[in-house]
Structure 1
Amino acid sequence: MMPWYRSPTARDWTSSFASGDAHAFHRSLPGYTPTPLVPVPDLAGELGVGRVLVKDESSRLGLPAFKVLGASWACRQVLQQRPGATLVTATEGNHGRAVARMAAHFGVEATVFVPEVMLPETAARIAGEGAKVVWVGGDYDAAVRRAAEFADGHPDRALVQDTAWDGYEQVPAWIVEGYQTLLAEVDAQLEGPPDLVAVPVGVGSLAETVVRHYRRPGTTHPSVLSVEPDAAACVLASLTAGRPVTVPTAATLMAGLNCGTMSRSAWPVLRAGCDVAVAVSDDEALRAVDDLGRLGVSSGPSGAATLAGVRAVLTDPRRRAALDLGHDAVVVLLSTEGPVR
C-alpha cells in the first residue's frame, strides 16, 4: 500500500475565493456546453458508498481535457493587457495544446516548450494547433524554466504558465479562476453537496481550485483527496514534509501529472485545506481506465487516477475510518482528460 497523508483539520479551514467572470466568458466561447457528471452505480457498490459520479472532461470546448478552461481565461486576460503578444508556455501536453488553440482563437502566435520525454504524437497535436514547438532536454520543470527565460524581458511575448513561483503569480491565479467553471457545473448538476471530491494533481493548480471552492464560508465542506503518480508525487511529499518539496520524476503513463514541483500558490491552500493525499501506480491507473471505459466513461490515465486514488483510500479500513465516510456518501471523481491517443 502506497503512503498517504491526512489532515484532520482541513475541513475546518475557510477560504475566500472570487471566481470573477470566467464562467460567463466560457459560456461565450463557440461550442461551450457543460461536461457530463456521470453516475456510476457499479463503482458505488464496489466502494460501499451511496453514489459515485464522474465529471467527464474527455471533450471540453473541442479538446480532450479540462485544461482549456484555465488556459482560455488566462489567455484572454493576458491579451487584454498585452494585445497581439505571442503566447508562450511549457507543457506536458494538454495545457500547451489549449494555449495553442486559444492563440489561434485570438489571432496571435504561440510558442510551446516541451520536455524530451513527451511523445512525438503529443507534440504533433500541439503543432497542429498552429504553435511553434520547442523541444527541451530534461523534464517538465526544465521546460518551464526555458519558457520563462524565452518570455522574460520581451514585451511582445507573454508567458501563460499554469504554475506559480515567486514573482509570477497573476497568470496562474487566472488559470485557477478559469478552472472554477468546472466546479460551478458540478454544483449545478448535483442535487446536494458531495461528501468526497477526488482530484488528480500535477503542479496542483486544479487542486487549489477544488480546495478553495469547497472551503468557501457558509458552505458544506466535503473531504478533498489529491491523487498523484507514484513517479511524481510532489504534493504528497510536500504535505508529509510540511514544506514544499521538489521530487525527481520518472516516466509515467499519467503524463499530465508528471510534475516534480508544486505551484507556489497551490502550496498554502493544499497545506491548509486538503484532507488526504495519495500516490498511485501506472498499473492502478490503467486498471481504472479499463474499468471506467467498461462502465461508459472515456478517460486517460491522468483522469482515471482519481478512481485509483479513491480505491486506495476507501478499500483500506483504517484509511476509510479516518475519513469518517458513511455508506450513503456521495463521491465525485474528476476525470480530467479523455483517452490518450
Structure 2
Amino acid sequence: MTVYRRPEARFWRCPAPPTGPQAFHRGLPGYQPTPLVDVPKLAVELGVGRVLVKDESSRLGLPAFKVLGASWGIRQALVDPDGPQTLDGLRAHVSGRGIRLTTATDGNHGRAVAHFARLLGISATVFVPAAVGQPAVDAIAGEGAQVVRVDGSYDEACRLAAAADGILVQDTAWDGYEEIPTAIVDGYSTLFREIDVSPSLVVVPMGVGSLAQAAVRHYRSTPGAVSLLGVEPTHAPCVLSSLDAGRLVSIDTSATVMAGLNCGTASSTAFPDLLAGLDSAVAVRDEDAAQAVSDLKALGVNAGPCGAATLAGVRAARPVLDIPFDGTIVLISTEGRHA
C-alpha cells in the first residue's frame, strides 16, 4: 500500500491546546483515564520495544472516545467561557429553555451528543447516513434522541443537520462553521494528555481528521519529534486524497466495516494542521481491519473496526516508518466492539 510520508512535519510547532476541557472532563461523573494496555506480542511482531493500546472501549459510560469532544463542544455551544463548568451547573442553565441539539453521525459522535443531551435534559436530533447499521441507530435512539435516516452519504447528513432547527454540534468544520468543531477537537485533547509515556509513534484513525488534528496539536506543541500516523479506509481516503493534492478535496466513498471513518470530506479546520504536522498516513483494507479486530480480541483488547484500524495501519506502514528498535508505539483504539 502507498504510505504518505512527510518526515519534516515532525518539527512543525503550534500552540498548546487549552487545559479547560480536561478540567471539565475530570468533573464529570464517572471520569477516569482510559487504560494504556501493554501488548508485548505486538511489540515483537513490529520490532519495537513496546506497543501500547489506548483503549477507548469504555469512556464516560459510552463505548467510544467521542463523548470527550461532544461534551466539551456542547458546553461551549451553550454557555460563554465564564459560564457553568459542571454538569449540574449546565443542567440548571439550560432547564426549561426548550433547547434542541442537531448533528450528523456515522455512529459514535451522534450517540455521544444524544447521551450528553439526555444528561442535560435537553432534546437532540441526529441525522444518520444510509450506510450506518441498525445497531448504531438503535443505540442513538436508546439515548432518547430523534433519529433521521438520510438516503445519502455522511456529507449529505451534515448538510441536513446544518439546515435543521436547533444548535448544530458537528465534529467537522466547513467555511462559516468553525467554532464548535474547534471546541470538539479541544475536547479530544484530554485523551492525549492522559498518555503518560513518551512514544516514538502514535497511530490515530482518521474520518474527517478531527482526532488526528487533536494529536497533531498535542504533540507538535511539546518538545520532541513524535511520529504521527493517520489511518483511514481504502473506501474513504478523504484525508489522504487531500494530503496528496496539497489542498482540501472531496471524494466519493463506498461502504466499509470502518463505518465511523466513512467520510468524503476532511474537516476544513483540521486539514491545515494535518498538512503541516502529520508526517505519515495510510489507507487500509476492510479485511485487514477485520483481522486486526480479531487479533486484538485474542490479546485481550476490546476494539471495533475503527479502533483496530490503527493496528492494520501500522502493519501496512511499518516497512517505511523509521521507528527505533527500542521505541514505543501507541495505538489509539477509538471504540469497542458493538459500539
Question: What TM-score comes out, normalization by structure 1 length?
Answer: 0.93
Q: Which residue of 1 aligns with 2:85?
A: none
1:90 to 104, 108, 112: 104
Q: Which residue of 2 aligns with 1:330?
A: 328
Query: Does structure 2 retain, via aligned residues, the 8 Å contact 1:16–1:216?
Result: yes
1:212 to 217, 224, 229: 217
Alignment of 1:1-341 (within 5 A): 2-80=1-79, 83=94, 84=97, 85-151=99-165, 157-187=166-196, 190=197, 193-217=198-222, 219-314=223-318, 316=319, 319-320=320-321, 324-340=322-338
Identity of aligned residues (%): 60
**Partner Cα separation in structure 1 for residue 210 and residue 225 of structure 2:** 19
Q: Please identify runs of 4+ aligned residues in structure 1 that moved more than 4 A.
A: none
**Partner Cα separation in structure 2 for residue 12 and residue 63 of structure 1:** 35
Query: Does structure 2 retain, via aligned residues, the 8 Å contact 1:70–1:175?
Result: yes
Query: Does structure 2 retain, via aligned residues, the 8 Å contact 1:90–1:144?
Result: yes
Query: Does structure 1 retain, via aligned residues, the 8 Å contact 2:56–2:333?
Result: yes
SS for the counterpart of 1:64 is: coil
Name the aligned partner's letter for residue 195 of structure 2: V
**Partner Cα separation in structure 1 for residue 333 and residue 18 of structure 2:** 21
**Partner Cα separation in structure 2 for residue 119 and residue 167 of structure 1:** 31
SS for the counterpart of 2:65 is: coil
Following superposition, the deviation at residue 24 of structure 1 comes to: 1.0
**Partner Cα separation in structure 2 for residue 20 and residue 109 of structure 1:** 28
Following superposition, the deviation at residue 80 of structure 1 comes to: 1.5
Name the aligned partner's letter for residue 330 of structure 1: T
5+ long unaligned stretches in structure 2: 81-92
Query: Does structure 2 retain, via aligned residues, the 8 Å contact 1:198–1:333?
Result: yes
SS for the counterpart of 2:194 is: helix
**Partner Cα separation in structure 2 for residue 22 and residue 105 of structure 1:** 18
**Partner Cα separation in structure 1 for residue 288 and residue 150 of structure 2:** 30
SS for the counterpart of 1:338 is: coil
**Partner Cα separation in structure 2 for residue 25 and residue 167 of structure 1:** 27
Query: Does structure 1 retain, via aligned residues, the 8 Å contact 2:9–2:277?
Result: yes
SS for the counterpart of 1:53 is: strand
Matched positions, count: 324
Following superposition, the deviation at residue 20 of structure 1 comes to: 3.5
Q: Which residue of 1 aligns with 2:89?
A: none
**Partner Cα separation in structure 2 for residue 212 and residue 32 of structure 1:** 23
5+ long unaligned stretches in structure 1: 152-156
SS for the counterpart of 1:87 is: strand
1:220-265 per-residue CA deviation (whole Å, 9 max, x = no partner) reads 1200000000000011111111111111110000001000100001
Name the aligned partner's letter for residue 86 of structure 1: R
**Partner Cα separation in structure 1 for residue 142 and residue 241 of structure 2:** 36
Query: Does structure 1 retain, via aligned residues, the 8 Å contact 2:17–2:189?
Result: no
Name the aligned partner's letter for residue 73 of structure 2: A
Name the aligned partner's letter for residue 53 of structure 1: L
Query: Does structure 2 retain, via aligned residues, the 8 Å contact 1:4–1:236?
Result: no
Following superposition, the deviation at residue 340 of structure 1 comes to: 2.3
SS for the counterpart of 1:9 is: helix
**Partner Cα separation in structure 2 for residue 18 and residue 117 of structure 1:** 34
Query: Does structure 1 retain, via aligned residues, the 8 Å contact 2:54–2:333?
Result: yes
Q: Which residue of 2 aligns with 1:154?
A: none
**Partner Cα separation in structure 1 for residue 255 and residue 76 of structure 2:** 34
Name the aligned partner's letter for residue 336 of structure 2: G
Query: Does structure 1 retain, via aligned residues, the 8 Å contact 2:240–2:282?
Result: yes
SS for the counterpart of 2:164 is: helix
Query: Does structure 2 retain, via aligned residues, the 8 Å contact 1:88–1:158?
Result: yes
1:168-222 per-residue CA deviation (whole Å, 9 max, x = no partner) reads 11000110110011011113xx2xx1000000000000000001100015x1120
**Partner Cα separation in structure 2 for residue 304 and residue 121 of structure 1:** 19
